[in-house]
């Protein structure tokens, strides 16, 4: 069997650029392991389609095995998202990581990853963070990177890619394969914008989705973003107090009291210092863990388990033939949860709370994702 590779992804929804990445990877590697973000995303949003639908789309478009990147890692910033994804990939024996890239420059990304992991970067970034700055974290990040001899600018995929390299190496993965993104293709966020704003919604967006998965996404229920925004607004208005430890949550509570509806509240959230995504992630954390900061602390550790979401015959063969050598357990059915160690059970409990919130948002019974079965393709 050829060497395996893992692709850490959200696929919200899958588009031709994702399919291009999967097809190129499958020409060289086998199996292709997709580590698919759970029901909430890096941007702190509820995914439009649940993790099982998006995982099945990965298999339809070239992946062999799709595994869960659970909450809180799936709804974290680039650093912790990459930490979690790399840990799952390494935990199931992936030989390498493959990822989309604006530059396709492995040498440059490896250099940037080394700078990002250095003590000098950490010291300078922390100094800027504690200096009462008014600039956003992205501007500070790029300034520190430049002063250390790194690239002047990094695209969002390259910035995430260097974190994959950084945490992949720490997890024991030895090879990395950036694939340059195709020009002229809409991103997943642009497709979501079309869905939200176009009068005909799905009809306008469907041609932008990878052809193999169009019927799947069309038939699957979608989570209503407006309901999620209402949840965050109500939580900030009624359940976040002025004595909240987090300055972000204190600001969100103030914004909720100065606005009259969820839409106005969401528009008021971004500041010069914090992006809307950072604000949403913090509010989501507060909703899910009730202000205990459990999500924040857990995201700084590695996932100790994952879930099989979808697989084809090659993926099932890989799972059956290698499962005893995996460093983390792969949950296939609910009974497998009883064999998890105590830390993995604690992680699973937090992910289950996130899934219950998502089920509420999607209008489903709260135990929907405990009972969900993986999609098995030919």
Is the confidence at residue 37, as pLDDT, over 90? Answer: yes
- pLDDT, averaged across the chain: 94
| Burial of 86: CB neighbours in 10 Å, binned 0-12, 13-18, 19+ | buried
Q: What is the 3-state secondary structure (H, E, C) of 84-126?
A: HHHHHHHHCCCCEEEEEECCCCHHHHHHHHHHHCCHHHHHHHH
- Dist CA 242 CA 240 (whole Å): 7
pTM: 0.96
Residue boundaries of the structural domains of the chain: 5-103+158-223+299-376, 120-151, 225-297
Per-residue model confidence as pLDDT tens digits over 274-312: 899 999 999 999 999 987 889 999 999 999 999 999 999
Which class is domain 5-103+158-223+299-376? alpha beta
The rounded distance, in Å, linking the Cα atoms of 114 and 197 is 41
Would strands 96-101 and 5-9 be described as parallel, antiparallel, or unpaired? parallel
> Diameter of the chain by CA atoms?
60
368, with CB counted inside 10 A (0-12, 13-18, 19+), is middle
Torsion, CA 53, CA 327, CA 355, CA 208, rounded to 10: -30
pLDDT band at 273 (very low <50, low <70, confident <90, very high): confident
| Helix, strand or coil, per DSSP, at residue 300 | coil
**What contacts 361, CB < 8 A, 6 or more positions away?**
46, 223, 224, 227, 228, 231
Report H helices in the chain: 16-28, 51-60, 78-91, 106-116, 119-129, 137-147, 156-171, 188-197, 202-205, 214-219, 225-239, 247-257, 262-268, 276-289, 294-298, 313-322, 342-361, 368-371
For 201-256, the pLDDT digits (tens) are: 899 999 999 999 999 999 999 999 999 999 999 999 999 987 788 999 999 999 99
Asked if 51 contacts 38 with a C-beta cutoff of 8 angstroms, the reply is yes
Which among 105, 282, 247, 79 has a CA at the least distance from the CA of 166? 79
At 132, is the pLDDT very low, low, confident or very high (cuts 50, 70, 90)? low
Q: What is the reported pLDDT for 136?
A: 79
Separation CA 138–CA 140 (nearest Å): 5
Q: Is 270 a residue whose pLDDT tops 90? A: yes
Residue 1 has pLDDT above 60, yes or no: no
Q: What is d(CA 165, CA 155) in angstroms, rounded to the nearest whole number?
A: 15
């Amino acid at each position: 069997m050829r060497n395996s590779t893992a692709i850490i992804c959200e696929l919200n929804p899958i588009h031709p650029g994702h399919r291009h990445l999967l097809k190129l990877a499958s020409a060289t590697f086998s199996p292709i392991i997709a580590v698919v973000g759970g029901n909430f995303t890096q941007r702190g949003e509820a995914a439009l389609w649940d993790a099982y639908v998006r995982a099945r789309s990965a298999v339809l478009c070239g992946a062999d095995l799709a595994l869960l990147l659970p909450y809180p890692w799936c709804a974290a910033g680039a650093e912790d998202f990459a930490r979690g994804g790399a840990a799952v990939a390494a935990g199931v024996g992936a030989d390498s990581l493959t990822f989309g890239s604006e530059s396709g420059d492995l040498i440059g990304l490896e250099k940037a990853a080394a700078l990002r992991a250095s003590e000098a970067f950490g010291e300078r970034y922390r100094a800027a963070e504690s200096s009462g700055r008014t600039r956003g974290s992205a501007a500070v990040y790029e300034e520190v990177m430049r002063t250390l001899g790194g690239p002047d600018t990094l695209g969002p995929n390259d910035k995430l890619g260097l974190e994959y390299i950084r945490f992949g190496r720490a997890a024991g993965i030895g090879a990395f394969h950036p694939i340059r993104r195709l020009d002229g293709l809409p991103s997943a966020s642009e497709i979501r914008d079309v869905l939200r704003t176009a009068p005909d919604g799905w009809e306008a967006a469907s041609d932008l989705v990878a052809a193999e998965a169009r019927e799947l996404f069309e038939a699957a229920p979608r989570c209503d973003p407006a309901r999620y925004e209402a949840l965050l607004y109500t939580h900030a208005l009624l359940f976040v107090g002025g004595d909240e430890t987090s300055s972000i949550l204190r600001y969100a509570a103030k914004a909720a009291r100065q606005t009259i509806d969820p839409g106005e509240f969401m528009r008021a959230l971004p500041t010069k210092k914090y992006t809307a995504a950072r604000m949403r992630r913090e509010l989501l954390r507060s909703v899910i863990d009730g202000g205990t900061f459990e999500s924040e602390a857990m995201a700084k550790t590695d996932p100790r388990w994952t879930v099989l979401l979808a697989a084809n015959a090659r993926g099932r063969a890989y799972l059956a033939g290698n499962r005893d050598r995996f460093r983390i357990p792969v949950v296939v059915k609910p009974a497998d949860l009883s064999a998890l160690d105590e830390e993995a059970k604690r992680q699973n409990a937090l992910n289950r709370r996130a899934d219950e919130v998502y089920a509420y948002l999607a209008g489903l019974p709260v135990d929907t994702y405990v009972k969900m079965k993986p999609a098995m393709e030919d």
